Structure 1
Amino acid sequence: MTHQVHAFEPPERFVAGTVGPPGERTFFLQARGGGRVVSVALEKVQVSLLAEKLEELLSEANRRFGIKLPEPPAATTDNEPLDTPVDEEFRVGTLGLAFDVDTATVVIEAIAAGEAEAEIELAGAEAELAAEPDAVGEDAIDEEEPDPDLDRLRVRLTPEAAREFIDRARRVVAAGRPPCPLCGQPLDPAGHLCPRNNGYHR
């Protein structure tokens, strides 16, 4: 079966967002452009890690190539919900990052999970994200090219657009259930069994 590469270089909009109430949220990356909208599902930890590694990539590009770091986005940053309907194209197994020096843009690839990766995901393993310093300026997204038969979403962002993505992604991750002040685990509106409180509801 032929794999699909959903390329947006650049997208009109590229954001992280969620569907569902706190505690039951499904996380998505969504790209829009050229009359198309593509949504791919991923884990909360993958969104958080992507924002963190994007920040590191921008800093590394500034250090090595003098790329100007964008200012923090203004309060008018995109706060709109995901475009609907949100149809899951695939579930992300691997995320890849690279910085294209020639165009001074960040390239992000979200690659579908294979059968083995899907099992690992269900076991709660953290996402793999290639954003080592050696990847800066390389054509390849990953040193070890993932299975070419897997579907993927590829976006190319300016540093300014990457900064806006980072800001929104962090707000989306932080908008879940507040942590318990004793154990740090998410509080459940129906009641929280706190291990620091000998299992009693708080």
Structure 2
Amino acid sequence: MARTIHEFRSPRRFVAGTVGQPGDRTFYLQVAQGTRLMSVEMEKQQVLILADRLGYLLDEVRRRFGTPVPPESTEVDDVSPLESPIDAEFRVGSMGLGWDAEAASVVIELLAVTEQPLDESVILDDTEEGPDTVRVFLSADEAREFSARSMRVIAAGRPLCPLCNQPLDPSGHICARSNGYKRDAEFSRSLEFVDPDVLAGLSRLVPGFDASFEVDDETDDQIDDAEDDTDSDDGDDTDR
């Protein structure tokens, strides 16, 4: 099928954000450049994987090419909500990461979900056949900022019960590890909420989560990776 590639080479903003309350959140990535504003819908696991892999890519770029890369940081300058209107162009099915050595930019590619298996050769390629795509170019500093904010957005959901590792609702939950005792929960819904234990628990909740980032030794001018969409069941109790 003919595809549309939405390219943003100099975005003024590229962020992850959510709509809804903890436990019932919808995740979006939103990019703005000039008067253009575009949002795509994602699963929480996809945002987590993208933020994680960005860190590995930047570290590998510094190691292999000697490119100046800022250190990993939890500091976030942009804590503003998503801009309106929030109309998803599509739901993301696959993602690609690359490094444009000439522009010294990270390339993030978000591809629409497809009914048929994706031909991975279309990722980071301008072929006319394939799913619609959003392609964003970021500096190393902007990529670090995106990752840090994304982790904060993820951590702003429901915290995990320290006994059964299941999400806590504001009114508490029935804990199987405490013989049905209803544990109360107090937690922040702010973007500023960060709990390392929550982040550690996420890696256990994401099926097939892989913290590694492999680089093809035969390709020095580009690093790319694709992730298939991880769909969650409608009845899943884990926090969105």
- Aligned residue for 2:61? 61
Give the superposition deviation at 1:193: 2.5
Give the superposition deviation at 1:199: 4.1
Give the superposition deviation at 1:104: 1.1
- Aligned residue for 2:47? 47
Give the superposition deviation at 1:4: 1.8
- Aligned residue for 2:202? none
Asked if structure 1 preserves the Cα contact closer than 8 Å seen for 2:2 and 2:129, the reply is: no
TM-score normalised according to structure 1 size: 0.81
- Aligned residue for 1:21? 21
Give the superposition deviation at 1:21: 0.6
- Gap runs ≥5 in structure 1: 118-127, 131-139
Q: Percent identity?
A: 51
Give the superposition deviation at 1:116: 4.4
Report the secondary structure of 2:154's partner residue.
helix
- Aligned residue for 2:167? 186
Map 1:1-202 → 2, pairs under 5 A? 2-71=2-71, 77-116=77-116, 141=124, 148-202=129-183
Pair 1:76–1:97, CA change in 2 (3 A)? closer
Asked if structure 1 preserves the Cα contact closer than 8 Å seen for 2:97 and 2:108, the reply is: yes
Report the secondary structure of 1:115's partner residue.
coil
Tell me how far apart the structure 1 counterparts of residues 5 and 181 of structure 2 sit (CA, whole Å). Answer: 50
TM-score normalised according to structure 2 size: 0.69
Give the superposition deviation at 1:75: 5.1
Tell me how far apart the structure 1 counterparts of residues 165 and 49 of structure 2 sit (CA, whole Å). Answer: 19
* RMSD of aligned residue pairs (Cα, Å): 2.6
Aligned length in residues? 181
- Gap runs ≥5 in structure 2: 184-240
Give the superposition deviation at 1:85: 1.2
Letter in 1 for 2:87: D
- Aligned residue for 2:193? none
Tell me how far apart the structure 2 counterparts of residues 112 and 68 of structure 1 sit (CA, whole Å). Answer: 32
Letter in 1 for 2:69: L
- For each residue in 1:24-66, what CA deviation from the matched residue of structure 2 results, as whole angstroms up to 9, or x when unmatched? 1100000001311000000001101101000000000000000
Tell me how far apart the structure 1 counterparts of residues 37 and 145 of structure 2 sit (CA, whole Å). Answer: 19
Tell me how far apart the structure 2 counterparts of residues 53 and 72 of structure 1 sit (CA, whole Å). Answer: 12
Letter in 1 for 2:141: E
